[in-house]
């Protein structure tokens, strides 16, 4: 499992680096990136707060072009359900999409790309992999329909009880 997590992380890093190389070639163009997700993206636990990965990414992008923007809509505790498109049908016993922080809101900001960072809250809530993947597919489909590239960050290590694994 760790091998796959490492591989996914390397792929994401490579994709971001490839995009960064493109950004460096045209310093007149600016980019708007919107981040949606949960506590890791929101910066929970980062000390100092500017050490959170989204803040570091923003700082780096702005060294490439001062007009670059990273808009962070993430909120701790969020799951895939809260990030679904606003027009998603309500499902009993599941959170509703948060129209202030979901993919629909992210796309309304006219981003050049969206990053989704949801490490493990779905698993912690007991949602199965199939359910999570269906939700991710709907989030990606919304971005694809808008013609906006989207990256899904990998999960992060977390200690679960045996019934959550």
CA distance 154 to 50: 22
Residue 7 pLDDT class (50, 70, 90 cuts): very low
Query: Residue 52's domain is classified under what CATH number?
Result: 3.40.50.1110
Domain for residue 58, yes or no? yes
Torsion of CA 65, 71, 75, 80, to 10 degrees: -100
107-134 per-position pLDDT tens digit: 999 999 999 999 889 989 999 999 999 9
Q: Is 60 exceeded by the pLDDT of residue 78?
A: yes
Is the separation of the CB atoms in 97 and 133 below 8 Å? Answer: no
Where does residue 22 rank: exposed (0-12), middle (13-18), buried (19+ CB within 10 A)? exposed
23: pLDDT strictly greater than 60 = no
- Assess whether pLDDT exceeds 50 at residue 1: no
24 domain residue, yes or no: no
Return the ∠ at Cα 152 (arms to 147 and 153), rounded to 5°: 150
Domain that holds residue 141: 29-151
With 50 as the cut, is the pLDDT of residue 5 above it? no
pLDDT confidence bin for 14, thresholds 50/70/90: low
Banded model confidence at residue 49, pLDDT cuts 50, 70, 90: confident
- How many domains does the chain divide into? 1
Q: Of all helices (H) and strands (E), which one includes residue 151?
A: strand 150-152
Residue 3 lies in a domain: no
Condensed to tens digits (0 to 9), the pLDDT of residues 80-99 reads: 999 999 999 999 999 999 99
- Within a domain: 22: no
Q: What is the pLDDT of residue 159?
A: 66
What element of type H or E holds 70? strand 69-72
Query: In this structure, is residue 104 part of a structural domain?
Result: yes
DSSP 64: H
Q: Where are the alpha helices (DSSP H) in 69-113?
A: 80-83, 103-108
pLDDT > 90: percent of the chain: 68
Q: What is the pLDDT of residue 4?
A: 42
**Dihedral pair phi/psi, residue 97, rounded to 5°:** -60, 140
């Amino acid at each position: 499992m760790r091998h796959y997590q490492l591989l996914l992380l390397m792929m994401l890093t490579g994709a971001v680096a490839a995009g960064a190389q493109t950004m460096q070639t045209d310093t007149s163009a600016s980019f708007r990136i919107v981040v949606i997700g949960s506590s890791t993206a929101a910066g929970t636990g980062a000390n100092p707060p500017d050490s959170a990965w989204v803040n570091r990414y923003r700082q780096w992008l702005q060294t490439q072009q001062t007009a670059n923007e990273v808009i962070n809509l993430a909120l701790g505790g969020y799951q895939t359900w809260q990030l679904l498109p606003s027009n998603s049908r309500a499902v009993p016993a599941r959170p509703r999409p948060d129209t202030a922080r979901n993919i629909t809101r992210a796309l309304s900001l006219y981003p050049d790309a969206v990053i989704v960072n949801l490490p493990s809250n779905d698993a912690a809530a007991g949602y199965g992999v199939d359910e999570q993947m269906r939700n991710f597919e709907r989030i990606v489909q919304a971005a694809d329909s808008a013609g906006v590239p989207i990256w899904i960050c990998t999960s992060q290590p977390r200690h679960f009880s045996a019934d959550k694994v």
